[in-house]
Structure 1
Amino acid sequence: MLEVENVVARHGLLTAVRDVSLNVKKGEVLAIIGANGAGKTTLFRSITGVHTNMTGRIRLGGTDISVWSPAKRVAAGLAMVPEGRRLFLDMTVRENLQVAGENGRKGRWNLERVLSVLPSLRQILNSLAGNLSGGQRQAVAIGRALMTSPDVVLLDEVSLGLSPIAVGGLYGSLEALKKEGETTMVIVEQDLVRATAFADRIICLLEGRVVLEGRAAELSHDQITSAYFGLVTIAGAEVH
């Protein structure tokens, strides 16, 4: 469903993403992990077309979308839940969802189906987004992405700043979405335990490069943490 080929992305003279390639199959969940500054958000922004200072190829369902506008990518089936949620705070939850539905593509998702996957939204539909808790805002942001009827959803920093209870509720909803097998998900997650438990595969970025890739069930905790923190074992000693 999604192919990223040799993507290099820069911020001025700084190269944030260095020759990254990845692919995700339909219904698969890929977790991208890495410390702050590893290039995760820049990679996501490059995939969605928001960050344009990049080279490489991005394909959605086999179609090259590398030069498409963000709006055209949404219309083709790509959606993103950005870090910080970025809701319309002076609009209600219902209005935030409806705006996405009106500007996305027609498909299997509508308000009622979103509420079936994210039932916690039903009781706050008429509340202003600006009055919600962090967990509620994240649920709205996920619902807003689904309203565009995407084939692929990118979720940036799913659990950042949320309470354990809120994180548990969100991942419960994401598990339900995963079981349907229709929506491909790529998540950026700082919580390594959550990432390995939820994802089918994991990619670790370090200073913009892929340093580890594999099936979540087959990677050890030591492998993941060593890649995450940039540790290399030499003659029994760990060094940076």
Structure 2
Amino acid sequence: MSAFMVDQLVAKHGLLMAVRGVSFSLEKGEILAIVGANGAGKTTLFRSLSGVHPVDSGRITLNGEDITAWPAHQRVRSGLAMVPEGRRLFVDMTVRENLQIAAENGRSGDWVLDKVVAALPVLEPILNQVAGGLSGGQRQAVAIARALMCNPSVLLLDEVSLGLSPIAVEGLYQSLEQLKKSKVTSMIIVEQDLKRAIQFSDHLLCLLEGRVALSGCSHELTHKAITQAYFGLEAEETENA
């Protein structure tokens, strides 16, 4: 039984079809990277998976249970958490308070405050600081920690390195490597850095205009094939032939 499965998912913005029949599955502890140009449908896909955007058709299952029609809060309590683009922290609260709120609204499990801080050591010196005064890298670490406090079996990370300095990105991925090694939480990550996406993930999926243009094991896909799918070059060549 897959930890997470998406089958022929369709999502729209009015008459615009943003996600067009996307399918994939994820086993426990696996990491899927989703790449694609701006407007490819990545954020709409994530919002649909997390329950904050309606699904027009298709099916989403979490640990074998159909969650397609579930509201977002029910998905969180059943093991699906998202780190949204832009972090969306409670900026007037301390880091500790942000994490406590997540713990109160998630499900019980091994991810308690001490363990989360151990996995993301950048948090320890800032626990009592107000979230609004943190740097971009610190805010992203808090956003990931907040999601972990919900004790997810599947963690969605949208544009995890967007807007961060190279040093902050490196530190962030060092922390994510620790989560990866645990083989407990499956992760789906949207990442613009193709090289990092390939290196970090087990599987990679490339979206183009809402459709799956390419998918496969990350170490088996060439950078050229991913780039062609990313920009739709193969489609253009076929049309021009």
What is the TM-score normalised by the length of structure 1? 0.97
Q: Distance in 2 between matches of 1:105 and 1:118?
A: 20
Structure 1 residues 106-146: Cα deviation after superposition (integer angstroms, max 9, x where no partner): 11110000001000000000111100011100000000000
Percent identity of paired positions between Structure 1 and Structure 2: 64
Secondary structure at 1:95 match in 2:
helix
Correspondent of 1:183 among 175, 182, 185: 185
> 2:64 — aligned with what?
62
Correspondent of 1:39 among 6, 24, 41: 41
| 1:233 to partner: Cα distance | 7.4
Q: Distance in 2 between matches of 1:143 and 1:167?
A: 16
Unpaired runs of 5+ residues, structure 2, are: none
Secondary structure at 2:138 match in 1:
helix
Task: Give the 3 Å change call, closer, same or farther, for CA 229–47 of structure 1 in structure 2.
Answer: same
RMSD of aligned C-alpha atoms?
Answer: 1.6
2:129 aligned with 1:127: yes
Q: Distance in 1 between matches of 2:59 and 2:167?
A: 39
Amino acid in structure 2 at the alignment position of 1:97: L
Structure 1 residues 135-190: Cα deviation after superposition (integer angstroms, max 9, x where no partner): 10000000000000000000000100000000000000000000000000000000
> 1:107 — aligned with what?
109
Amino acid in structure 1 at the alignment position of 2:210: G
2:152 aligned with 1:155: no
What is the TM-score normalised by the length of structure 2? 0.96
| Pairs within 5 Å for 1:67-216 | 67-216=69-218
Structure 1 residues 57-100: Cα deviation after superposition (integer angstroms, max 9, x where no partner): 00000100011110000010000000000000000000000100
Unpaired runs of 5+ residues, structure 1, are: none
Amino acid in structure 1 at the alignment position of 2:84: P
| 1:54 to partner: Cα distance | 2.4
How many equivalent pairs are there? 239
Q: Distance in 2 between matches of 1:141 and 1:233?
A: 38
Amino acid in structure 2 at the alignment position of 1:148: C
**2:157/2:189 contact within 8 Å kept:** yes
Secondary structure at 1:173 match in 2:
helix
Q: Distance in 1 between matches of 2:126 and 2:46?
A: 29
2:20 aligned with 1:18: yes
Question: Relative to structure 2, which stretch is displaced further, 189-198 or 52-61?
Answer: 52-61
| 1:232 to partner: Cα distance | 1.3
Q: Distance in 2 between matches of 1:71 and 1:234?
A: 42
Task: Give the 3 Å change call, closer, same or farther, for CA 95–18 of structure 1 in structure 2.
Answer: same
After the TM superposition, which segments of 4 or more aligned residues of structure 1 sit over 2 Å from their partners? 237-240
